[in-house]
């Protein structure tokens, strides 16, 4: 494998919310294949700055696939070509010399672009606000081992809780559905005994909020699962539907 490559970047540039955007083309030479994708963008930004141009705005923080800040469409794929990989974990060794790489922000109506590749994902926070919690005040909790939880149940809850809230599932879906994100949160709680008391109101309220934010309906094509950097399984959506129906039939659906 060659140690450095030349690539051409086609990057979405947009000066602010609601402004028209366009692609700009930037050639970039001698990029180390050991550099991460975001380090490659750092190099681009350094180059732009040196020539007095404005660098490309993009969100990132942890750069190790856990904070959920980063998120780019790379050649039309959310988080790029690798499975279970956030954009910040993608490395240039995945690309070849002479490649043209297209880089865009998440495209979904509930995630408006703020600038260049930065979008507003606060809709996710509002969905969590609508019941994505257990109501327990600090100091009120019983001893942690008072309720035993079978290992497989705890593991299954953890599988769902691993979601990083990046929004790739929405970006990958042609309907911009947030079902994978919502199902991960709902099922994390539903699999634990501590989540039981609010099980029915939680699912009803979170789904209602999801609709209110303007996310589309599920296409059942599992594009979300394929894009998810944390391997959140589509089966969560199947179970979410069950939870939702159960809530409609049996439970309180609002507070």
Cβ atoms of 159 and 128 within 8 Å: the answer is: no
Q: Is 105 in the site for ligand SF4 (CB under 6 A)?
A: no
For residue 241, what are its two tokens?
């539907």
Question: How would you class 44 by CB atoms within 10 Å of its CB: exposed for 0-12, middle for 13-18, buried for 19 or more?
Answer: buried
- E strand or H helix at 209: helix 199-212
* Total number of residues that touch ligand FES (CB under 6 A): 13
For residue 212, what are its two tokens?
């209110």
Q: Is 60 in the site for ligand FES (CB under 6 A)?
A: yes
Residue 121 beta carbon to ligand SF4: minimum distance, rounded to whole angstroms? 9
Beta strands 113-115 and 77-78: pairing type?
Answer: unpaired
- E strand or H helix at 115: strand 113-115
H and E: helices and strands count for the chain: 8, 7
Rg (CA), the chain: 21
Residue 184 contact among ligand FES, other proteins, ligand SF4, none, beta carbon within 5 to 8 Å by kind: ligand SF4
Nearer to ligand SF4, 227 or 240 (CB): 227
For residue 140, what are its two tokens?
């009120």
Only segment of 82-90, 175-183, 214-222, 234-242 that touches ligand FES (CB under 6 A): 82-90
Nearer to ligand FES, 90 or 247 (CB): 90
Q: Is 86 in the site for ligand FES (CB under 6 A)?
A: yes
Q: Is 206 in the site for ligand SF4 (CB under 6 A)?
A: no
Residue 202 contact among ligand SF4, other proteins, ligand FES, none, beta carbon within 5 to 8 Å by kind: none
Residue 97 beta carbon to ligand FES: minimum distance, rounded to whole angstroms? 26
- Strand, coil or helix: what is 249? helix
Nearer to ligand FES, 62 or 238 (CB): 62
Q: Is 119 in the site for ligand SF4 (CB under 6 A)?
A: no
Q: Is 39 in the site for ligand FES (CB under 6 A)?
A: no
Q: Tell me how far apart the alpha carbons of residues 43 and 218 are, in angstroms, rounded to a whole number.
A: 38
Residue 238 contact among ligand SF4, other proteins, ligand FES, none, beta carbon within 5 to 8 Å by kind: none
- Contact residues for ligand FES, defined by CB under 6 A: 60-63, 65-70, 86-88
């Amino acid at each position: 494998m060659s140690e450095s490559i030349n690539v051409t970047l086609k990057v979405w540039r947009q000066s602010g919310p609601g402004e028209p955007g366009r692609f700009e083309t930037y050639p970039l030479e001698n990029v180390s294949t050991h550099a991460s994708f975001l380090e490659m963008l750092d190099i681009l930004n350094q180059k732009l700055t040196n020539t007095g141009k404005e660098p490309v705005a993009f969100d990132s923080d942890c750069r190790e696939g856990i904070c959920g800040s980063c998120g780019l469409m790379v050649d039309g794929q959310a988080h790029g070509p690798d499975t279970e990989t956030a954009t910040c974990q993608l490395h240039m060794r995945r690309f070849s010399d002479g490649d043209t790489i297209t880089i865009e922000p998440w495209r979904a109506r509930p995630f408006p672009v703020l600038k260049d590749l930065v979008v507003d994902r606060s809709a996710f926070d509002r969905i969590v606000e609508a019941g994505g919690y257990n109501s327990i005040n600090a100091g009120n909790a019983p001893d942690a081992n008072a309720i035993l939880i079978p290992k497989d149940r705890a593991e299954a809850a953890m599988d769902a809780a691993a979601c990083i809230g990046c929004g790739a599932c929405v970006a990958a879906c042609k309907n911009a559905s947030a079902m994978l994100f919502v199902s991960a949160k709902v099922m994390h709680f539903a699999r634990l005994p501590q989540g039981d008391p609010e099980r029915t109101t939680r699912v009803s309220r979170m789904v209602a909020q999801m609709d209110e934010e303007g996310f589309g309906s599920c296409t059942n094509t599992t594009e979300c699962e394929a894009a998810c950097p944390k391997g959140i399984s589509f089966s969560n959506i199947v179970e979410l539907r069950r939870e939702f129906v159960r809530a409609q039939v049996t439970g309180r659906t609002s507070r």
